[in-house]
């Protein structure tokens, strides 16, 4: 199934905690946007940004009125011609190419979503199949969220035991939304 997916990077957040555009924040000499894009590229047929226009990138502004990641998810599902969308937030610069590949290898008609050690569903490092496009649009129109979308359509969890067996340690969904989080991420995952 590799190559049948659209890579979609969420870039539409306000970056209020970071105080600057997270896409341009450098991590070990490379922007977060570049790092996330490089991790996606081997596994997708094309990559788009879900958010405002950015020079040199194909961008898809939110086509639905919703808050948070759901706006991007619904937009990507509505516009793609691929069978699924690999969604990664721009503020997850430690995402592993291998983890994306393992998630793509999971055959499911449901969203494939990692669940962390606390039971939190990592909706911004997940795979969304196009058959849920109507449910995503409905959820957006009724004021839902990416979490309530999963409550509605269900999902295929990637449990800690499963992702640990891949060599994943939680870095792929570690969110760098502040300078403190960047320092923490570099201390935990920096190479």
The pLDDT, as a whole number, for residue 80 is 95
pTM of the model: 0.92
Give the angle subtended at the CA of 169 by the CAs of 168 and 175, to the nearest 5°: 110
Give, in order, the Cα–Cα distances in Å from 68 to each of 5, 34, 50, 51, 140.
Answer: 22, 22, 11, 11, 10
The pLDDT, as a whole number, for residue 15 is 52
Structure tokens at 158: 């990637």
Hey, which bits of the chain come out as E strands?
A: 5-10, 26-27, 30-31, 46-50, 59-60, 84-89, 112-114, 125-129, 156-158
Give, in order, the Cα–Cα distances in Å from 179 to each of 24, 125, 182.
Answer: 13, 21, 5
Q: Mean pLDDT of successive 10-residue segments in the chain (191 residues)?
A: 78 61 89 96 95 91 80 94 96 97 96 97 97 95 94 98 97 93 92 62
The pLDDT, as a whole number, for residue 3 is 43
The pLDDT, as a whole number, for residue 51 is 87
């Amino acid at each position: 199934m590799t190559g049948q997916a659209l890579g979609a990077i969420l870039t539409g957040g306000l970056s209020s905690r970071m105080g600057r555009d997270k896409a341009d924040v450098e991590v070990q000499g490379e922007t977060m946007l570049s790092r996330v894009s490089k991790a996606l590229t081997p596994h997708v047929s094309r990559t788009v940004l879900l958010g405002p226009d950015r020079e040199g990138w194909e961008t898809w502004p939110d086509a639905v009125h919703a808050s948070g990641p759901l706006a991007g998810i619904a937009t990507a599902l509505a516009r793609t011609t691929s069978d699924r969308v690999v969604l990664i937030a721009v503020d997850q610069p430690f995402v592993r190419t291998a983890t994306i590949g393992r998630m793509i290898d999971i055959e499911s008609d449901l969203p494939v979503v990692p669940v962390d050690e606390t039971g939190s569903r990592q909706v911004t490092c997940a795979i969304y199949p196009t058959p849920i496009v109507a449910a995503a649009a409905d959820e957006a129109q009724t004021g839902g969220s990416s979490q309530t979308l999963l409550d509605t359509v269900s999902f295929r969890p990637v449990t800690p035991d499963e992702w640990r067996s891949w060599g994943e340690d939680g870095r792929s969904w570690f969110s760098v939304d502040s300078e403190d989080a960047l320092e923490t991420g570099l201390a935990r995952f920096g190479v």
